[in-house]
Amino acid sequence: MICTANNLNFTNTELTRETAGQNFKNHLVENVYPGRGIVIGRNHENSWIVIYWIMGRSSNSRNRIFRHENGILLTEAADPSLVEDPSLIIYNAMRDVDDCVVVTNGSQTDTICEGFMQGESFYDSLHKEKHEPDVPNFTPRISGLIEQKKSSVTLAKISKSDFSAEQSVYHFYRYNEIGAGFGYCLTTYMGDGNPLPPFKGDPILLPLEGDAEQIAEKYWEVLNQDNRISLVVRELTFSGKDSLKIINRFDARDGEII
């Protein structure tokens, strides 16, 4: 009986690894435009891993870099003189409040963090937001939260209603256990198109092997070379080490910030 159980556990792990690998291939390697993406999980050493990347098709969307300042990851213009409309491209992408790490694809980062400081929940804060008003795409707002003391992850997606462009649909996904070497991912789109098809379904399982730098290189390498703009990987270890690896397509200041 013990051998059978062990074999079942091994098989389940292998199936999970196979699923994650196939998702990585289908949704990232072979996908020209998954758009912005968030992945949260644990690496092989069971450290927390947070990935966020941005992509762009228009000159306005492509004119961006990631910068880390005063504990906040933010987007800024690579060339300020070329900015056409900053409203949906310039924002704080990752912030901390107490033991919580918040990462999003827009201004809702600040909405969530300010809500926390006023005693509001992740859920209540996000219900103040709607999908992005970028006709005709109506891009979903995607958000992620790590609560380190609770050892839990929550991902959220705010999409346009099927019945009205003025109304949003709210999806929340909470994970109290994520196996070492895996993470859950939300992206803004399923692929390229006009209009862009919004992400459908639940978060997908992806592999997370290596440290922040190794994971950053792996994910950056597979994102479409024409459309990738910036990527960051953050690693939080049990020993308290907090590492950040940033890759910017249009900036020479790439490197590791600790």
Tokens of 85: 């409309």
User: Rounded to an integer, what distance in angstroms lies between the CA atom of residue 119 and that of residue 160?
Assistant: 28
Tokens of 100: 């919580």
- Return the bridge partners of 96, or none: 101
Q: How confident is the model at residue 225 (pLDDT cuts 50, 70, 90)?
A: very high
Q: Which domains does the chain have, with CATH numbers?
A: 2-257 (3.60.20.20)
User: Rounded to an integer, what distance in angstroms lies between the CA atom of residue 31 and that of residue 250?
Assistant: 22
Tokens of 183: 């993470």
Which pLDDT score is estimated for 109?
98
Q: How confident is the model at residue 258 (pLDDT cuts 50, 70, 90)?
A: very low
CB 109 within 8 A of CB 122: no
Which pLDDT score is estimated for 130?
98
User: Rounded to an integer, what distance in angstroms lies between the CA atom of residue 96 and that of residue 67?
Assistant: 15
- Return the bridge partners of 64, or none: 77
Q: Taking Cα atoms as reference points, which of 81, 254, 103 lies closest to residue 183?
A: 103
User: Rounded to an integer, what distance in angstroms lies between the CA atom of residue 120 and that of residue 135?
Assistant: 30
Give the model confidence (pLDDT) of 148-171 as tens digits: 999 999 999 999 999 999 999 999
Q: Give the burial class of 125: count Cβ atoms within 10 A of its Cβ; 0-12 exposed, 13-18 middle, 19 or more buried.
A: buried
Q: What is the 3-state secondary structure (H, E, C) of 76-87?
A: EECCHHHCCCCC
Provide the strand spans (E) within 56-187. 64-69, 72-77, 92-97, 100-104, 141-147, 152-160, 168-175, 182-187
Residue 130: phi and psi, rounded to 5, are -130, 175
User: Rounded to an integer, what distance in angstroms lies between the CA atom of residue 37 and that of residue 51?
Assistant: 8
Mean pLDDT calculated for residue range 110-127: 98
Give the model confidence (pLDDT) of 4-30 as tens digits: 333 434 457 888 999 999 999 999 999
Under DSSP, the state recorded for 205 is E
User: Rounded to an integer, what distance in angstroms lies between the CA atom of residue 184 and that of residue 59?
Assistant: 30
Mean pLDDT calculated for residue range 110-128: 98
Tokens of 119: 């005693």
Give the model confidence (pLDDT) of 63-77 as tens digits: 999 999 999 999 999
